[in-house]
Structures are given as structure tokens and as C-alpha cells.
Structure 1
Amino acid sequence: MKPDDRRQEIMDILMEAGSASVEDLSLRFSVSKMTIHRDLDDLEQAGLLRKVHGGASIQSSAQFESDFRYREKMAAEEKRQLASHAATLVEPGQIIIIDDGSTAGGLADHLATIRPLTVITNNLSVIVKLTAIPGIEVISLGGQYSRKFNGFFGIVTEETLSSLRADIAFLSSSAIQGAAAYHQDQEVVKTKRQMMRSASRSYLLVDHAKFGKPALHFLTGLDGFSAVITSDRIDAGHEAALSDAGISIIKV
């Protein structure tokens, strides 16, 4: 196995288990403990994990937290509640957009009773779930597949979106600062912006922990959304800041 492939598999193991020992990794990949130590050193320098005595554990960071496998596990019940409420905004016959986010992606579990629908999405999990449901037409956005985000992005994705029109776009974002949404990846930002341009109205679904978090790239002001859908666990200070800025909030 090539070193890069082995290191990716080490991250896959940590993504599932949270930690792993050097001995276990050495046996799993049939390489020396020294080789595993070098792998862990390189991954730690990249900010992807933290070496501990005898092994490694996941390192909380923007790079790690953006992985869809991590996002699906975090605040899972809260995200399901937000997606369930968002589904009440959808009417049969509409055309909707669902982005790559794990929160917005949860809508796929609530659409079978709102048929017929047309769903435009770059989210591979949503595509897989909805293609098996009669009465839901899925328009899959092409582009370059990102294993990290489990979705499609890039020029092809954006050009396809620019030729489509939808009634509603449901988006997620990784960070909210003040009255603006941010994301750590610029390609994702460009796709989300085009989704908003392609829809008559847009909603942002974010769990309460996203407020006050940092991320590198400005996505959009929250006034670009018809409403921000979050949980009633939102901090009172963050809620007040949104209200003062005239942002519509739906608390679930």
C-alpha cells in the first residue's frame, strides 16, 4: 500500500473509532511500528490528529470537522428535528435544492410524504436515498466528487445550477459569526452561493453549536435567507444579535 493510501485509511479508522494504538495499526497494515509513527507524525503536522502515548486520537479542527462522517455524528438528533421542521415548508409539486450539508441533507428522510417533488442536489447521500422513491424526480448535479464532503463541486456543478430554477433552497453552513455565515472551503462556498441564486427563497439550517464558531471564508449575510432555522438551544446572546440585525429566526 502506498503511504498516502495508508494514511487515508488511518484517518478513516480514527473517524470511526476516535483513537487507535500504534500496535493495532502496525498489525492492521502489516508495517513496522516505526512506519506508523512516521505516518502519525505527518498527519499530526497536517493538523488532522493528535499523537498520544502509544497511539493517536482525532484532533478537533476545521479540517477534521468538515469531513461528512464527522458531521453526520455531531448533534444528530438536533439536526433531525431541524430537517423535520424544514420539510413542513415544502409543498407537493415544488422544486427544491438540498446542499451537501448533513443538516439540510436530513430533509431526504422527510420527503416521501410530500410527493410529487423535484429535488436538485449535489449531496451523494441525498441522491442515493431519493432515487428509490417513486414520485420524486432527482436532478443530480455533476461535477468533481469530494470524498471529504460526500458531494459534487466545481465548474460543472455551478454551471448546471445556473441553468436551473427552484422554489426553495435548503442550505447548511459550518459557522455563524454575527449576522453572517462562513465555511472553511471556498469551492463549497461558491456552490452554495449559486444554489441561493437559483432559488426563489432560501433557508439556512444550523444547529445551535455553529453560532460563534470561526471559519475561513465568508459565505453570505444571513439576511440573504428567508429565515434561519435553528434549535431553541441557541444562546440568548446570539439570538439577540440576529434579532437586532433583522434576521428572521425559526426556533425548533
Structure 2
Amino acid sequence: MPKSLPEYGSVPGRRSARCGEIVGGHERLEVLIHALERRQRIVELTRESGRVSVLDLAAQLQVAQETVRRDLAELEVQGLITRVHGGALPADRIEFEGDVGSRRARNPEEKARIARRAVEEIHDAETVFLDEGSTAGYVAKALNPSHHLTVVTASVPVVLSTHAHPLITVVLLGGTVRSRSIAASGELTSRILGDLVIDVAFLGTNGISLKHGLTCPDLSVAAVKRAAIAAARRVVLVTDSTKFGLNSFASFGTIKDLDSIVTGSAAPRRTVELIRNQRVQVVLV
């Protein structure tokens, strides 16, 4: 009786080895998927908190600290986080501000969508405050009111975008003009704003986090933003989604100071839900 040929033309004994390779391949794929999911979660936690520690990440993710360190090393290579002693920061954490031109160049399509949606928050308001900054600049360009509207601002670029509209009256606040933003700030600007009553204030931010609230790099700018919050009946934050989880130098408000946030759809979902739990409307565009 002739011997039967090995299945699939293989050498005897190789099929079982091949099956072992397949099983091992599935296991390696599963490990890879878990690592990718874990690293994605690390990026989300870093952006939500502004800073994370290896110890906390290991506890939350239920992995060894050495595993977290390897994940952080890989994420830093990918440009998604910046490692610091004992933990990590978001890669794009903002410590310094760019000039008005460089900021306007970032995420222009998202900022334009935010602006178009933000102007719907005006409703029947007669007076609005427009902050300095790139996103507020997009809001200024999107303004096309059907009724008379007074725009109060410390920003020269906002004035240039709005002064020609027949239904818009512009009030330019005085003060020391900063060359980076071409906007006034400081005590004089804040004092003038404090004497006004604003229906809706549109504010920008350099960072928003659950722990530190709303922050920007400059104390004199923060003072103007605080004055706008105090003067306004409603406060709308207009910010692109990259600002979530970032912290800058000077705090100018808390999340509870806001009535609404208009931001991009890429904003961290968990943070958005926690903000909504504080009775702040969050509009994703």
C-alpha cells in the first residue's frame, strides 16, 4: 500500500508547525491591538489632564510602569506627547503664544466652521464682545447681522473685519497695544470694559482643561478676558479642538463661567461630557 502524500504538498510534520505559526501570529496581532488602544488612551488622558504621571497611567490602565514608559517613548517618537520627568505632557502644550498671523494659519477650516456656528449664538443680542485671537477673528469675518449690532473689541484685526458692515458699530477699547496680537490689553482696557454691559462675549483661549479651566500666556490679556466675563450676560468660548487638555500661564476663568463652547468635532469626548455635566452647552462642528 503506497504511503499517502502529505496534505497541501507539505513536508511531513510541517502542517502542525504552520498552525502554530498562525496561532502565534494571532496572539502577536492581539498584543499589538491592545498596545495601540492603550497608547490612544494615554494620548486622550494626557490631553484631558494637561499632564500625566507614569504611576497614575499604570494604575488606570492596569499595566506595569515599564510598559507605560515604553508606550510614552513610542508616542514621543510619533510626536503625540512630550515626556517629562515622571510622566508626559501633550506634544502641543502651549507655553508661549505665536503672533496673530501664525495662529490664524493653524486649523483654518475648523476655525471657519466654528465661527459660522458661533454667530448663531448672537440671536437678538444688540452688543457683543469679540476677543483677540485667531478664532475670534474668524467670528468677526462671519458676522452678517440682520439687525443693528455693536461690536466691542480690543483687537485691531477685528475692527478691520467689521467696521465696513452697514449694520455694525464698532467700539475699540483703548490700552497698550501688544505687537503679537495687535490688540490692546492691561488695566486701562479692563477698566473701560468693566463700565460696559455686554449681551454676548465671544472669548478665545490658549488652553482649556478640567483642572485649570481657561488659560492664556499673558497676565494683561487674562485681565481683559476676566473683565469681559464679568461684563457679559452670556459667555461663549470659541476654540479649536487642539486646545483641550492644554494649560498656559495665566488663568482667566473656570468652565462654569461659560454658557456655551463652540469647538471642533475632534474635541475629547470624555472631557466634553464632563463639561456638559456642569451645565455648559458644548457644540461640536
In structure 2, the partner of 1:195 is 228
**Contact 1:92-1:116 at 8 Å conserved across structures:** no
- Note the C-alpha offset of 1:150: 1.8
Show the 5 A alignment for 1:113-192.
113-178=145-210, 180-192=213-225
Q: Which has the higher contact order (CA 8 A, sep 6+)?
A: 2
**Contact 1:92-1:117 at 8 Å conserved across structures:** no
- Note the C-alpha offset of 1:93: 5.9
- Note the C-alpha offset of 1:142: 0.7
Structure 1 distance, partners of 2:146, 2:216, is 31
Structure 2 distance, partners of 1:214, 1:206, is 14
Call closer, same or farther: CA 1:177–1:63 in 2, change over 3 Å.
closer
- Note the C-alpha offset of 1:63: 5.7
- Residue 163 of structure 1 aligns with an amino acid whose one-letter code is D
**Contact 2:94-2:246 at 8 Å conserved across structures:** no
**TM-score, L = length of structure 2:** 0.63
Deviations 1:205-245 (A, max 9, x none): 11110001121112211110111111111122322332344
Structure 2 distance, partners of 1:178, 1:142, is 33
Structure 2 distance, partners of 1:93, 1:225, is 17
Which segment drifts farther, 92-101 or 224-233? 92-101
In structure 2, the partner of 1:97 is 129
Structure 1 gaps of 5+ residues are 1-59
- Residue 135 of structure 1 aligns with an amino acid whose one-letter code is L
**Contact 2:146-2:167 at 8 Å conserved across structures:** no
- Residue 250 of structure 1 aligns with an amino acid whose one-letter code is V
SS in structure 1 at match of 2:237: strand
- Note the C-alpha offset of 1:189: 0.5
Which segment drifts farther, 211-220 or 105-114? 105-114
Deviations 1:50-97 (A, max 9, x none): xxxxxxxxxx77465432121100111111111111111223561100
- Residue 131 of structure 1 aligns with an amino acid whose one-letter code is H
Structure 2 distance, partners of 1:251, 1:101, is 20
Call closer, same or farther: CA 1:240–1:82 in 2, change over 3 Å.
same
SS in structure 2 at match of 1:195: helix
Structure 2 distance, partners of 1:119, 1:105, is 12
In structure 2, the partner of 1:216 is 249
In structure 2, the partner of 1:108 is 140
SS in structure 2 at match of 1:87: helix
Structure 2 distance, partners of 1:152, 1:217, is 17
**Contact 2:175-2:189 at 8 Å conserved across structures:** yes
- Note the C-alpha offset of 1:173: 0.2
Question: Max radius of gyration: which structure?
Answer: 2
Does residue 241 of the first structure (1) align with residue 274 of the second (2)?
A: yes
- Note the C-alpha offset of 1:137: 0.6
In structure 2, the partner of 1:227 is 260
**Contact 1:93-1:115 at 8 Å conserved across structures:** no
- Note the C-alpha offset of 1:176: 1.0
In structure 2, the partner of 1:29 is none
Percent sequence identity over aligned pairs: 26
**TM-score, L = length of structure 1:** 0.71
- Residue 228 of structure 1 aligns with an amino acid whose one-letter code is I
- Note the C-alpha offset of 1:165: 0.9
Structure 1 distance, partners of 2:221, 2:258, is 17
Structure 1 distance, partners of 2:167, 2:119, is 16
Which segment drifts farther, 99-108 or 138-147? 99-108
